[in-house]
Amino acid sequence: MASRAPAATSRLLVGFRKWYYNACGFNKLGLMRDDTINEDSDVKEAIRRLPEQVYNDRMFRLKRALDLSMKQQILPKDQWTKYEEDVYYLEPYLEEVIHERKEKEEWAKN
């Protein structure tokens, strides 16, 4: 995540990242990285905290992707999510949730 940001963002590294992002393929269904995250209890709480607009957008993208996958189709190339446009919207909320959980565990230890 953000803590693993590379010390030096060279053009080679960025090129590799872009290639990997496209190879993953979820962008062909119009999804963002945070739409694909596995929903454990922390993630569920973070999703609960999303502002209404962001949550609705997420639901829309998921619905569209499910529909496409059922029809065994993908979006036309101009509608694929681009690497530059991908917003890690869930990350701040998820970090906060994990931080809170860790705080609780610290207290429980003593």
Partner 1 sequence: SMKSKTRLGEPYGSGLLVASLENYSPVSKIGVFVKAGSRYETAENLGVTHILRLASNLTTKGASAFRICHGLEAVGASLSVTSSREHMVYSLDCLRDDFDGVTEYLINVTTAPDFRPWELSDLLPRVKIDKAVADQSPQIGVLEKLHEAAYKNALSNSLYCPDHMVGKISVDHLQQFFANNYTSARMALVGLGVSHAALMKVGEQFFSTHTGAAAPGAVYRGGELRVQSGGGLVHALLACEGAAAGSAEANAFSVLQRLLGVGPHVKRGSNITSKLSQGITKATAQPFDVSATAFSATYSDSGLFGVYIISQADSVINAAMAQVTAVAEGRLTADDLTRAKTQLMADYLMSLESSEGLLEELGVQVLSSGTYSSPQTVTQSIDSVTSSDVVKAAKKFVESKKTMSCYGHLANTPFVDEL
- CA torsion sign for 72, 76, 77, 82 is negative
Integer Cα distance of 97 and 73 in angstroms? 36
- Whose Cβ is closer to partner 1: residue 82's or residue 104's? 104
- Whose Cβ is closer to partner 1: residue 32's or residue 46's? 46
Residues in touch with partner 1 (CB under 8 A): 48-49, 51, 100, 103-104, 107
Residue type, 85: E
Query: Least CB distance from residue 13 to partner 1, whole Å?
Result: 36
8 Å CB contact between 64 and 26: no
**DSSP 8-state class, residue 7:** S
Query: Least CB distance from residue 107 to partner 1, whole Å?
Result: 5
- Whose Cβ is closer to partner 1: residue 40's or residue 106's? 106
Query: Least CB distance from residue 31 to partner 1, whole Å?
Result: 24
